[in-house]
Structure 1
């Protein structure tokens, strides 16, 4: 057991090294958010853009779920999917609707959000996640989910604090972020445990898992590049 723990500790250290260059809290757009430098128009544009990834997230999970054999992994993916879609009792509402509340709080209409022609970087993000869910190794697909959801709580906390401090936005418009300060802690823990179990049986898959996590983290960063490019071109 000690050898397994030691090997896994080394793996997760390498994982964090691979995703560290794409720490979203260091992205210029989120830095501007934290400092109160974004306008409400900037936030409205971001909300309308990023909703498409949030809305698509359940489809990533569904794609992975549909190809897994009966067992623990498939059921854990389904539990996550149920929460995202709001059919889990604890969630109450689909997370995409909670994000739509944020967009509405920034002044965007549902039609404006749903009909938005997203930036190429956002399209690439959604394509990347869809492709990663079809990775031959299920552990690689889960690494992409872990790379995303393990970072969400800290990001959500920073966003909620920024909305309250700089934009006077709390309540329903900030509910997506206050929920995700805790919701994805459990999700990330599940992905990590499942990845550990998979790698214990197939340590030769480590590089594929590391590469998938890095690819997901980079795609998330680049999607924000598109948001920031639009913001700076407007301003």
Structure 2
């Protein structure tokens, strides 16, 4: 399974995604970067919901525990100040003085809603092998992405290294999160060739939609759309 994961990561080659290319070469305008990061916040807030739904579909309590642990860590292990959405809010504040009321004014971009919808579809409507593959490869990719983003934010002088938050935590944390999802998949991978098809489908889907999210955010970086209403962007339960 590790070979398949590595091959999919190489094929996707998120390092060459324009979002990261132009952040590295210094042509990504600061205000545009901030706007795309505000949009990414909407993905951060939503991410633990499909994860929690996926846990309920995993057939054994031992394997289920791997995902439940991730859900608990996403919620700061009970410390509300360490919830991932809270650390990302702190990142936005340190990056550009963005406050919750500023975020409330923004309309969610379709690129983010599409990403969130794929995650919940894979984790709720499909079998658990698909959902765990999707979530696992996203966690694995984000461990690299978090390192790149944190490095570039500091390199461009947008946040001092000692003030960096969220991204510096996920560079290491999400390797463990990814391994937890992959551990859920390994018994099924070893048990039957048929399972491998569905696992690879999940891995490829996750890599595809996560790479596409960043491509879409970069393409729409000049977009500024606001809303008159307040409250959650998703009311489905």
TM-score in terms of structure 1 length: 0.85
Deviates more, 1:26-35 or 1:110-119: 110-119
CA distance in 2, matches of 1:95, 1:176: 7
Query: Which residue of the partner structure matches residue 50 of structure 2?
Result: 60
Query: Which residue of the partner structure matches residue 8 of structure 1?
Result: none
Shift of 1:19: 4.4
Match of 1:117 among 85, 89, 107: 107
CA contact (8 A) 1:42 1:231 kept: yes
Partner of 1:36, secondary structure, is coil
CA distance in 2, matches of 1:71, 1:107: 43
Match of 2:147 among 135, 157, 164: 157
Query: Which residue of the partner structure matches residue 95 of structure 1?
Result: 84
1:197–1:81 Cα change, 3 Å? same
Query: Which residue of the partner structure matches residue 20 of structure 2?
Result: 30
CA distance in 2, matches of 1:79, 1:92: 18
1:214–1:98 Cα change, 3 Å? same
CA distance in 2, matches of 1:20, 1:48: 28
Query: Which residue of the partner structure matches residue 209 of structure 1?
Result: 199
CA contact (8 A) 2:50 2:124 kept: no
Match of 1:170 among 160, 164, 180: 160
Deviates more, 1:12-21 or 1:46-55: 12-21
1:68–1:115 Cα change, 3 Å? farther
Alignment deviations for residues 120-158 of structure 1 (CA, whole Å, 9 cap, x no partner): 121110000001112543222111111111122221111
Over aligned residues, Cα RMSD in angstroms? 2.3
1:172–1:94 Cα change, 3 Å? farther
List 4+ stretches of structure 1 deviating above 6 A: none
CA distance in 1, matches of 2:49, 2:163: 24
Shift of 1:111: 2.0
CA contact (8 A) 1:19 1:218 kept: no
Shift of 1:22: 2.8
Shift of 1:32: 1.6
Query: Which residue of the partner structure matches residue 235 of structure 2?
Result: none
Q: Which runs of 5+ in 1 are unaligned?
A: 1-10
